[in-house]
Amino acid sequence: MKLTIGANGWPVIGHELTVGQLRRAVQSGAVAHAYLLSGPARIGKEHLALTFAQALLCTAESSAKPCGHCRACTLVAQRKHPDFLTLDMAWQGAMLPDKKSAQSITVDAVRLMNSELARSPHEGHWKVLLVPEAEGLTTQAANAFLKTLEEPPDQVVILMTSRDAELVLPTIRSRCQPLPMRPLPLSRVADALRQQGQHSEERTRLLARLSGGRIGWALQAQRDDTLLTRRAEALEAHGRLLRANRAERLLAAADLSKGDHALDMLQTWAGWWRDLLLVQSGAASRISNIDQRAELDHLSHRLPPTASRAFLRELQRLLAVLETTNANGQLVWEVLLLKLPSLSGEWRMANGMTD
Amino acid sequence: MSQQALYRKWRSSSFDELVGQPHVVRTLTNALQSDRVAHAYIFSGPRGTGKTSSARILAKTINCTAAPEARPCNDCHLCRSISNGTSLDLIEIDAASNTQVDKVREAIVEKVNFVPSEARKKVYIIDEVHMLSNSAFNALLKTIEEPPPHAMFILATTELHKVPETILSRCQRLDFRRIPVSEIADHLAFILSQEGIEAEPELLALVARQATGSMRDAQSLLDQLMAHGGDRLTVADARAALGLASLEAVQQLVALILAQDIGAALLLVNDLLDQGTDPRQFLADLLDHLRALLLTLAGNSSQLHDLPEEAIRQLEAQRGQIKPRALIEIIRRFTQAGSELKLALQPQLPLELAIVEAVLALQGQGDETVLSAMPTAAPRPDPAAGRPLSALREPRNDYAPAPPASQAPTAPDTGESPQHPPTHEAEPRAATPPPAPTVPHAAHSLAWWQAEWEAVLARLDDMGETGQRAALRLKFGHPHEVDGAKLVIGFPFSIHKEKLEAPADRQAMLRALRAVGGETLEAELRLVPRTAPASSPPKTKFELAADDPVVQEALRHGGHIVDVYQS
């Protein structure tokens, strides 16, 4: 991918406030010891963290750091710089071979990292630690990290990322400088996609809407078609199941539960139903599946608003069940598909369509 | 090296500087002055309230070489060595990374007997102590109970409930409290003046409110804002950095919801989020506004003095547009949306759903009031629904024990209290206050009693010990039949009936019943076995559905019921 230099001087699209803050910190040397980058998935947290690490470790003479092509910048981009550490499963597996099969970061890994950080940097002036998905740390691991996080050795900068700052232990959160990252305006995403060029305007607009402002998602969908293909499959299955009878749905549930991308599919469905709700509520200009407009308009009269509301609630509930418990996947899909409003005329009452 | 965060740079270094914990400061300074310092303390409280700071100050004060009244001087070599963490006699242990019993034995139990190298006392600070393992705690017990005279312990934790009782009972316990907003704001103002940075006074209040009582949170936020802006911090910048929507946007959304304009409300929310508003912050602001509206509705707007006049005027204008019950429902929806944000498929979805449902709650409020005005509508409404909001307006002092019998028919405050005069059985919840009782013997219907049953129980429950005992038994009964001025109460088991027939219980029960249902009321207790319920057996869902006029119409046209689903 061609990296365009953003208006703010860093190869980061959007997030001007956050980038400006980090840039000033690098220039003035007033770098905080710990940051918490938070925001939805694929919004660019790790990319920004890597860029910040590059800026800290860059060896270029000029003040325009990161230069992007010196040895340090290249190594950080490849995550191989000796002063750039990542507390993730790969690191844990490499450093503690007996913990290779662990499900999460263990206390031992955190302790090892604590002592690793106590050593001075190998090359540059900084030692940067990236802790991705900090909300996934167990309570024990997070607690073992508290003292280091509060007063780390000089020259250490800790960058934590999380999809939601509220999910991180409060004692961790309050020790970091917060860097909340929010979805970009959709127009900004569309502009960025246009700069990458080579695609139709229609597709650009659709991707921008679908991304919900998550620039990382938009760029990935632009690069390879898997995301869009997967979405088309999800919509196709959805349309088919809307018109299917009970027996067909139960058969489909068995297949769907074995699929690899159940969550993506639920996301797509939820987006579609949200759009239907928007159309029914008179806010059709804000829908994200703009290529489905005709179908949505058509169905907005055939399905009552109560049905879309109830099914959206059901989607949310089942998603929570899937994410937070180890529920039987097939059972969840069966419940979901039986609650899916029907266009087949059968058991219309089942889905509150009489009201 | 990295710039020190504000919370490290401005860590309190003497008890005078410690903000918001006067009770802790007083306890510790008194102990120091009278030389009665305990051998072990445990500091507990939420994050960022000064536990670690206090522990270090205490360590300094004990060891400082200056004159007693000047301690800690923060200038002698002992104070300085403690401040920069080089003292040999201050042993700060991170319990979270040293949880095992071996570490505790090695670091504490085996070394505690060595005298301090230069200070008066060896001070062990064990931070995040709740993370120690059980055996580690037990290994500490003897040492903490009777440490050598030259040693003392300070334990600090955010989760006191995880510390064993055996440890707690050996320590003097000091609870740190959340710091009030005003004190956080004052301290932030002090820090900014020292740093040579200007800030709008509004901004400090804003940051302090965001910090929810934690000074470290407040200082981290301030750090963030200082990194954003130059020498002058403005509210506008802070709002942008924190993703706060303007107050006007919040008010506008509430106005749109009250106007039941779903489309416009959804557009507004989508635009706000598109411009970078943080959904969680927005929800918090929205709930603040709705709470203010609820207080206004309950006639308690005196608590809203910190709102601008303009906002209060708007609240006054909005109060006529919504009924309390609908507002409570709306607040519930948005609160639920807040907890759904964590797992949301799309950040705006919970908000959008809540808006749609809020408008539905508003549209339903007309019907709801009609429903609740008809006592037969709900045989057993939930207690909250049965209690009119006028109850929120002021404490119900008429629930005082043993109300005199003559009190019952006084004019109710809005005509909706349970102590309704016995005249208006048909319209007990009419909006207008009912006229004074004219026909004293008109009895309430059975449905009325069923609706007021919770009120009877609540009243009885308020009548002292006897009342509570009677209420417990009466709960097993239910209004069974109305026979002129006599209410028959049915009991499925004889034991509750017999107990209630004891004179004291019966007296209390009658008092409560009369206070609710009128002076001349009599009551009879009757055994009504479960096998012979008062009403006909519950209908099947098929029969229920067949009662519906729409379904009947369909049946007349040749349809038949295949299955019935509750939507």
> What pLDDT sits at residue B265?
94
A27 and A172 housed in the same domain: yes
What is the pLDDT averaged over residues B451-459?
A: 82
- State chain B's mean pLDDT as an integer: 80
Checking if the pLDDT of B416 tops 80, the result is: no
CATH of the domain at A136: 3.40.50.300
Residue B132 with chain A: CB contacts under 8 Å:
none
Q: Could you tell me if residue A3 is inside a domain?
A: no
**Which residue of B240, B343, B356 is in closest CB contact with A319?**
B343
A338-353 pLDDT, tens per residue?
Answer: 999 888 754 444 444 4
Please tell me the distance from the alpha carbon of residue A226 to that of residue A234, in angstroms, as a whole number. 12
Lowest-confidence region among A216-230, A252-266, B386-400, B489-503? B386-400
> What pLDDT sits at residue B58?
94
Q: Which helix (H) or strand (E) holds A179?
A: strand A177-180
What is the pLDDT averaged over residues A239-243?
A: 91
A70 and A144 housed in the same domain: yes
Checking if the pLDDT of B268 tops 90, the result is: yes
Tell me, yes or no, if A171 comes closer than 8 A to chain B by beta carbon: yes
Tell me, yes or no, if B270 comes closer than 8 A to chain A by beta carbon: yes
Note whether B345 contacts A114, CB cutoff 8 Å. Answer: no
Tell me, yes or no, if A186 comes closer than 8 A to chain B by beta carbon: yes
> What pLDDT sits at residue B141?
93
Quick one: which of B474, B480, B476, B481 has its CA closest to B513? Answer: B474
Please tell me the distance from the alpha carbon of residue B181 to that of residue B20, in angstroms, as a whole number. 10
CATH of the domain at A263: 1.20.272
Residue A151 with chain B: CB contacts under 8 Å:
8
Amino acid identity, position B488: V
DSSP for B58-125, written as a single string? HHHHHH--S-GGG---S-SHHHHHHHTT--SSEEEEETTT--SHHHHIIIIITTTTSPPSSSSSEEEE
A174 and A274 housed in the same domain: no
A253 CB-side CA count, 13 A: 19
> What pLDDT sits at residue B2?
63
A192 and A241 housed in the same domain: no
B312-339 pLDDT, tens per residue?
Answer: 888 888 888 888 889 999 999 999 998 8
What is the pLDDT averaged over residues A128-155?
A: 91
Alpha carbon distance, N-terminus to C-terminus of chain A: 52
Strand B40-44 vs strand A84-86: parallel, antiparallel, or unpaired?
unpaired
A99 and A32 housed in the same domain: yes
B483-518 pLDDT, tens per residue?
Answer: 777 888 888 888 888 888 888 888 888 888 888 777
How many degrees, rounded to 5, is the angle at CA B59 between CA B56 and CA B60?
A: 90
Quote the percentage of chain B above a pLDDT of 70: 82
Tell me, yes or no, if A300 comes closer than 8 A to chain B by beta carbon: no
Q: Could you tell me if residue A262 is inside a domain?
A: yes
Note whether B343 contacts A320, CB cutoff 8 Å. Answer: yes
Note whether A277 contacts B356, CB cutoff 8 Å. Answer: yes
Tell me, yes or no, if B2 comes closer than 8 A to chain A by beta carbon: yes
- Three-state SS for B138-207 is HHHHHHHHCCCCCEEEEEEECCHHHCCHHHHCCCEEEECCCCCHHHHHHHHHHHHHHHCCEECHHHHHHH
Report the gap between the CA of A304 and the closest CA in chain B (Å): 12
In terms of residues, how long is chain B?
Answer: 567
A49 and A189 housed in the same domain: no
> What pLDDT sits at residue B427?
42
Chain A residue with minimum CA distance to B545: A349
Note whether B97 contacts A147, CB cutoff 8 Å. Answer: yes
Strand B40-44 vs strand A127-131: parallel, antiparallel, or unpaired?
unpaired
What CATH number is given for B247-370 in this structure?
1.20.272.10
Chain B residue with minimum CA distance to A24: B227
A133 and A251 housed in the same domain: no
Note whether B2 contacts A309, CB cutoff 8 Å. Answer: no
Reported ipTM = 0.86
What is the pLDDT averaged over residues B195-219?
A: 88
| CA-based max dimension of chain B | 101
Please tell me the distance from the alpha carbon of residue B428 to that of residue B418, in angstroms, as a whole number. 9
Beta strands in B112-220 (DSSP E): 122-127, 151-157, 172-175, 198-199
Residues of B numbered 68-107 whose beta carbons fall under 8 angstroms of chain A's beta carbons: which are they? 94, 96-97, 99
Residue extents of the structural domains in chain B: 6-175, 181-242, 247-370, 376-409+441-535, 537-567
Helix, strand, or coil here: A103?
coil
Instruction: Pull the structure tokens for residue A106.
Output: 């263990």
Tell me, yes or no, if B550 comes closer than 8 A to chain A by beta carbon: yes
**Which residue of B99, B262, B352 is in closest CB contact with A274?**
B352
Report the gap between the CA of B82 and the closest CA in chain A (Å): 15
What is the pLDDT averaged over residues A175-194?
A: 91
Q: Could you tell me if residue A342 is inside a domain?
A: yes
B78-94 pLDDT, tens per residue?
Answer: 889 988 888 899 999 98
What CATH number is given for B376-409+441-535 in this structure?
3.30.300.180
Assigned CATH class of B181-242: mainly alpha
How many degrees, rounded to 5, is the angle at CA A191 between CA A190 and CA A195?
A: 115
Residue to test with chain B: of A22, A37, A117, A174, most B Cβ within 10 A: A174
Helix, strand, or coil here: A162?
strand
**Which residue of B96, B223, B243 is in closest CB contact with A147?**
B96
- More confident: B410 or A343: A343
Instruction: Pull the structure tokens for residue B123.
Output: 């001070």
Tell me, yes or no, if A278 comes closer than 8 A to chain B by beta carbon: yes
Checking if the pLDDT of A275 tops 60, the result is: yes
What is the pLDDT averaged over residues B26-45?
A: 93
> What pLDDT sits at residue A128?
96
Q: Name the fold adopted by B6-175.
A: Rossmann fold (3.40.50)
Residue to test with chain A: of B3, B97, B352, most A Cβ within 10 A: B97
Please tell me the distance from the alpha carbon of residue A249 to that of residue A338, in angstroms, as a whole number. 7
Tell me, yes or no, if B266 comes closer than 8 A to chain A by beta carbon: yes
- State chain A's mean pLDDT as an integer: 87
Give the residue numbers spanning the domain of A195: 185-221
Checking if the pLDDT of B376 tops 50, the result is: no
Checking if the pLDDT of B398 tops 70, the result is: no
Residues of A numbered 209-268 whose beta carbons fall under 8 angstroms of chain B's beta carbons: which are they? 212-213, 266-267
Please tell me the distance from the alpha carbon of residue B179 to that of residue B214, in angstroms, as a whole number. 6
List C-alpha distances in Å: B531 to B447, B487, B499, B538.
22, 21, 22, 13
What is the pLDDT averaged over residues B383-408?
A: 41
**Cβ-Cβ contacts under 8 Å for A40 (sequence gap 6 or more):** A163, A164, A183, A212, A214, B347
Lowest-confidence region among A319-333, B122-136, B427-441, B469-483? B427-441
> What pLDDT sits at residue A5?
55
B126-162 pLDDT, tens per residue?
Answer: 999 999 999 999 999 999 999 999 999 999 999 999 9
> What pLDDT sits at residue B18?
92
Predicted TM-score (pTM) above 0.80: no
Residue B86 with chain A: CB contacts under 8 Å:
none
Cβ neighbours of B433 (radius 10 Å): 12
**Cβ-Cβ contacts under 8 Å for B44 (sequence gap 6 or more):** B51, B156, B157, B158, B159, B160, B173, B174, B175, B176
Checking if the pLDDT of B25 tops 90, the result is: yes
Total count of domains within chain A? 3
Residue B341 with chain A: CB contacts under 8 Å:
164, 166
Checking if the pLDDT of B420 tops 50, the result is: no
Chain A residue with minimum CA distance to B9: A151
A20 and A161 housed in the same domain: yes
A211 and A229 housed in the same domain: no
Quick one: which of B70, B71, B46, B50 has its CA closest to B60? Answer: B71
Tell me, yes or no, if B217 comes closer than 8 A to chain A by beta carbon: yes
A198 and A305 housed in the same domain: no
Q: Could you tell me if residue A254 is inside a domain?
A: yes
Instruction: Pull the structure tokens for residue B209.
Output: 């409110």
Under DSSP, the state recorded for A120 is P
- How many interface pairs between A and B have CB atoms less than 8 angstroms apart? 181
> What pLDDT sits at residue A7?
55
Residues of A numbered 42-81 whose beta carbons fall under 8 angstroms of chain B's beta carbons: which are they? none
Report the gap between the CA of B19 and the closest CA in chain A (Å): 17
